[in-house]
A and B are shown apart, each in its own frame.
Chain A
Amino acid sequence: MSLPSGAAGGYRPGATLSFTTELRRQASRRRTRLTLGFMVALPLIVLAAFEFGGRSGGGGGGDRGQFAALADIATSGGLNFALFTLLVSSSFLLVVVVALFCGDTVASEASWGSLRYLLAIPVPRGRLLGSKLLVSLLSSLVALLLLTGTALLVGTLRYGWHPLVTTVAGEIASGPALLRLAGITGYVAVTLLVTAGLAFLLSVSTDAPLGAVGGAVLLQILSSILDQITALGQLRVALPTHYAEAWLGLLSNPVQTDDMVKGAISALSYSALFFGWAWYRFLSKDVVS
């Protein structure tokens, strides 16, 4: 019945808590479904707001910034609508969503008490984190793609398939614009890795899912606030959210990728640090939940 390693028959460490098993455990959660559902609903809500709000225009002054500029042209086509929806979501909503998926995953198991049973199976700790992280990241990516895809779909159905209108760089033909939208989505995904890493680190450190999610969001907000303080000068470059909007470079003509490259370096470094730290913590900690 038992193997040379002393394990029960049929047990292999590499077969425990597979990706699909973890996916099934998480997919049926109401939290997951509600969040993904909201990703579909949000573009519709934004669309409804544009429809009912009328076209006041608002006499775009320069002070209102890029946000207003993009809002003014959001209804000029499906691509613009998708871009606008992504813009309004990326700074906060998507941060919360990613923090939810990655911050809740281990901490909720700890709070339910099921974590110790998984570890007693035994699921190797590294593997448990691996499966959980992959499922969390996949859920986050699905949320991001659902949001962008739905926005593109409803925007195109309502406003038509037109070239992407930008504030400064003129029009970008639909084909290349679709590529750029994909690039922007990809960049947003990379920057969200920082949130994911931080939330995951907090998730393995606490038994309170809310603490992990809230902590990650809070630190993001703190970073954004500090980034507003220009007196900090060059120190701001080190803030994880400093390059959060570097994707605007993809709306230039020709494409400006310098800041995106720096942003990607920053995001990857931070997320590697956070994920590595999370692994270190979890592999060395005493599980007392």
Chain B
Amino acid sequence: MGKRRWPGLTPSRLLAGLLALVLLAGAVAWAAWPRTPGYTTRPLTITVRTGPEGTTPVALDATYYRPRSASAAHPTAAVLLAHGFGGTKDSVAEDARDLAGRGYAVLTWTAEGFGHSGGQIHLDSPDWEVKDAEGLVSWLAARPEVLKDGPGDPRVGVVGASYGGALALLLAGYDRRVDAIVPEITWNDLAGAFLPESTGAGPGQGVFKKAWAGLLFGEGGTSLARPLTGPVPPGVTPACGRFAPDLCRIYLSVAATGTATADQIALLRRHSPASVLSRITAPTLLIQGEADSLFPLSEADANARGIAAHGTPVEVAWFTGGHDGGQGPPSDRDRLRFLTARWLDHYLLHRGSAPGTAFTYSRVAGIDAASDGVVAPGFSVARYPGLGGRRTTTVPIAGPPQPAVNPPGGTPAAVSVLPGGGGSGAALAVHEVPGQHADFLSAPLRSTVEVVGAPRVRLRVASPTGEAVLFVKLYDLDPAAGATLPQGLVAPVRLTGLPASIAGARPVTVTLPAIVHEFQAGHRLRVTVATSDQAYATPDQPAVYTVAAGPTVTLPVVQGEPIAAPDLAWRWALAGLLAALTIALVAAIRLGRRRHRRLALRSSPAGREGGGPARGEEAAPLVVEGLRKEYADGLVAVSRVDFVVGRGQVVGLLGPNGAGKTTTLRMLLGLIRPTAGSVHVFGHRVVPGAPVLSRLGALVEGPGFLPHLSGLDNLRLFWRATGRPEADARLDEVLEIAALGAAVHRRVGTYSHGMKQRLAVAQAMLGMPDLLVLDEPTDGLDPPQIAEMRRVLRRYVTGGRAVLVSSHLLAEVEQTCTHVVVVHRGEVVAAGPVDEVVGDSPSVQFDVSDPAAAEEVLRRAGVRSVAGAGDGSLVAELDGTPPAVVVAALVRAGVGVNRVVPRRRLEDAFLALVGGEARSGREVS
């Protein structure tokens, strides 16, 4: 906060301002200017030979991003960027641009069966999609600007999410030329993902994930893949859309029965990374979503274990998004982008140190104001601990064996998650159907437990049919806010060979979905075993199961280190800003104080040339020299004013409205800066805030009071604001002059104009200043008060003090003042003692016996102007002719002269001096 003195606008400051403007404009332009990307984009069609025999041509719609920096001389690594199910090459355009900007040659393509590519959907079949990708790797190998590890072997990484992620894994398994992969939110075993079973029984006994399966089949089979109008492309059938017939048959069969045969499972396995994990040698960064009911964290866990088992470097990262949760908050996206770039840079370009195998994850921790999303701080662990956690803690749960009804036809069903709903967090409408579930509660937790991994619980179930499909969930029970199901994830189990009575039931261990969740102290855990779930296919036959769980829940625990906020720089910036502002503030205050001292010295009379009297006696109360005020718009309010107010004088500043009186007074109070000239008060030059102004009391342009305070409080606080001793105020004397009586205790807001005026004069007189400046002091006063005011002012100057009164009322000045300064149009037209100014009057009044004759005589005597005033009276401007000569001439002509009165009225003088435009009345306006 620069408390510095800024004089008026100077060329250098104008320059500085312009410079600042140019800089600002430059910054905005820089921010808004479209940048030339560091790469070129080329859409193209690549035809690959594919199929089991490698002979079927399929045209793939692709886009190639070539960095401008890459050339045959300076080749770069390439990245194959695969899209998710239902997408096209355009869905990954943003990531492609990002990678191309980092200097990678990026090839994106639309997988066969989607968009404008030919072929059918084979669900990442090694015979089709994987072969397609091998063809693309060969295409890259033919590019001169792509780095080669050997003939026909480009340096290439594969990045993709979901459908594209599995392709990355499968391609790395089938094609040795792949050098690094980053598969995201993808599957390990397609059969296991769509037919999950949480006791480890495998997909043969799995519970069909019908909601997700239907959603995906619909996306691939109908709306997106088949044109709405025009001829149906070859290979598209109403039942299967663009799905390959073999896969379509599997879907139709599984969807109808809810189970899969061994053949079907085997076929799906071929389409799964699980079948090739042992062959993958490309370093793998596995990214999986915590809010993902399609491919949960356990899929990535299986991939990680399978690949790492053969010594291939694997890094695992979890984030708060997923197929249900989306991309996650910006902090997650930044972390994943950083990890991906680090992985590719190291393994493709050999830039940067080895990424290591640290495991990172994030947890929803709050609300982000900027994006109106969630905040998910990241945590890091040295080594991937798997789903079992670094260690475990057990929490006892209790509850009797309870009956749970399986509803006929699977409805009504419990709701746990909306597939792909995008809501990661609070607002999921999780719902349990009464009577269809069994609950087992823990005691309130004594301390907060941060679960990272898959909790386990033991279950005993009895069923009259010998079988049961159940959904096991772990709720977080907040005593205040109710139960939440972390990420809406459930563990489906299909139990067979069950006894009819619970007494004979053998316990089975259920692995619950892996979660990252903080169970806070005071909350309870609730294990809920439900018989139905909207997202899964359940037995149609009604049955009543008996369920027992416990005695404990095993929770995997990981002590993650918070990942240091990358925004540390901002903290330093804040600290720096605070320091800078503090220094600036202190400096500004110092400067301000020093300026006051300098001001006091500079304005002192010593060393000042002119304007002051001889040494030994104090300078005149007020000396105004060559004062001029010209406003920025060219208006000259005061063109040149000089006058002096001496001790003991009451000086009238007389002029019509607009003559520049008030502007002059403002300048002598330091309220506005003169363009030229100076004002000295008691020998000290007046500048804004000059200390000498404290010897001056003023009333300018009417009173100014705080309307909510009484008259007395106004005066008191005004005096307090001067900071001078209370006793110096001479409040009693001043109040006497104001003569407000009891009204002085009323709020000023209730005062009449005259009362305010008197209070304002009183305020100006507070402390009995040596120089009193009053602007139209009698404005609003009645005649007795005006007369009193005159007496007060005359008395006031007796002690050597001085008064400057400005007025446009002639009588006012004539009767009150000892001296007068007449200003007109910003210039002094006359100045001096009232008598002198008046003595200059050229007109004389004659009272004669015969006005008509007298007029004639006067005209002949050479008197310039004669005017009859009625009642035998004539006013003549003698224009230099002595009155005696004129009287003699009148007498000679026989005109009786009764009276000769020199016109001593200031009015005449005033009118004569300022010209004739305002002769109409006493008041010049």
Contacts and interface: CB of A to CB of B under 8 A. Distances in A.
B692 interface: yes
A30 to B, nearest CB: 6
B691 A5 contact: yes
A284 B694 CA distance: 21
A73 interface: yes
B693 interface: yes
Interface in B335-382: 364-370, 372, 374-375, 377
A4 B604 contact: yes
Interface stretch (B86-94, B421-429, B465-473, B882-890): B421-429
Given A166-B366, A169-B366, A8 B769 contact: yes
B79 to A, nearest CB: 26
A125 B704 CA distance: 18
Interface stretch (B720-728, B847-855, B892-900): B720-728
A215 interface: no
A261 interface: yes
A121 B567 CA distance: 51
Contacts of A269: 577
A197 B731 CA distance: 38
Nearest to B704: A113
Given A8-B695, A112-B704, A121 B722 contact: yes
B603 interface: yes
A120 B578 contact: no
Interface in A257-277: 257-259, 261-262, 264-265, 268-269, 272, 275-276
A224 interface: no
Question: Which 3 A-B pairs rank lowest in CB-CB distance, beginning with the nearest?
Answer: A252-B366, A113-B704, A15-B723
B683 A248 contact: no
B368 A7 contact: no
B721 A170 contact: no
A254 interface: yes
Interface residues of B, number: 96
15 contacts: A6-B603, A8-B767, A9-B724, A73-B481, A117-B698, A122-B689, A126-B592, A235-B31, A256-B375, A265-B574, A269-B577, A279-B1, A279-B2, A284-B7, A286-B672
Contacts of B724: 8-11, 15
A165 to B, nearest CB: 5
Interface in B466-491: 478, 480-481
Nearest to B591: A126
B619 to A, nearest CB: 9
Interface stretch (A45-53, A60-68, A144-152): A60-68
Contacts of A234: 31
Contacts of A251: 366-367
B574 A258 contact: no
A249 B331 CA distance: 13
Contacts of A76: 480
B743 interface: no
Contacts of A2: 682, 692, 695, 770
A112 B480 contact: no
B586 interface: no
B522 A171 contact: yes
Given A6-B604, A11-B722, A168 B365 contact: yes
B691 A7 contact: yes
A248 B369 CA distance: 6
A56 interface: no
A288 interface: yes
Contacts of B567: 258, 261-262
A6 B369 contact: no
Interface in B683-719: 683-684, 688-696, 698, 700-709, 713, 717-718
B213 to A, nearest CB: 26
Given A122-B690, A168-B364, A18 B673 contact: no
B35 interface: no
A202 interface: no
B573 to A, nearest CB: 6
A256 B366 contact: yes
A112 B522 contact: no
A255 B32 CA distance: 34
Contacts, number: 275
Contact of B723 (A18, A170, A171, A284): A18
Given A116-B701, A118-B721, A259-B370, A283 B5 contact: yes
Contacts of A7: 600, 691-692, 694-695
Interface of A: 1-18, 21-22, 24-25, 28-30, 60-62, 65-66, 69, 73, 76, 109, 112-127, 129-130, 162, 165-171, 234-235, 242-249, 251-254, 256-259, 261-262, 264-265, 268-269, 272, 275-276, 279-280, 283-284, 286-288
Contact of B707 (A69, A112, A121, A284): A112
B33 interface: no
B682 A6 contact: yes
Contacts of B574: 261, 264-265, 268
Given A10-B724, A61-B427, A170-B518, 18 more contacts: A2-B682, A2-B770, A6-B682, A7-B692, A14-B596, A25-B717, A112-B705, A116-B700, A124-B689, A167-B426, A168-B374, A245-B370, A246-B370, A248-B367, A252-B365, A254-B377, A256-B365, A259-B369
Contacts of B478: 170-171
B562 A254 contact: yes
A244 B372 CA distance: 12
Interface stretch (B401-409, B527-535, B548-556, B663-671): B663-671
Contacts of B592: 124, 126-127
Contact of A65 (B372, B571, B689, B770): B372
A91 B368 CA distance: 16
Nearest to A127: B592
A30 B708 contact: yes
Interface in B177-199: none
A165 B366 CA distance: 12
A10 B725 contact: yes
A170 B448 CA distance: 11
B593 interface: yes
A259 B770 CA distance: 59
Given A170-B518, A252-B365, A254-B562, A5 B684 contact: yes
A249 B375 contact: yes
Contacts of A29: 706, 708
Interface string B762-787: 01000101100000000000000000
A284 B5 CA distance: 7
Given A5-B684, A6-B691, A62-B427, A258 B565 contact: yes
Contacts of A1: 770
B695 A13 contact: no
A13 B596 contact: yes
A171 to B, nearest CB: 6
Contacts of B581: 268, 272
Contacts of B369: 243-249, 259
B367 A252 contact: yes
B426 A28 contact: no
Contact of B709 (A28, A246, A256): A28
Contacts of B708: 28-30
B671 A288 contact: yes
Nearest to A263: B369
B8 interface: yes
B520 interface: yes
Contacts of B522: 171
Nearest to A162: B480
A168 B367 contact: yes
B681 interface: yes
A77 B200 CA distance: 46
A60 to B, nearest CB: 7
B800 to A, nearest CB: 11
A112 B756 CA distance: 12
Nearest to A286: B672
A75 to B, nearest CB: 11
Contacts of B370: 242-243, 245-246, 259
Interface string B31-50: 11000000000000000000
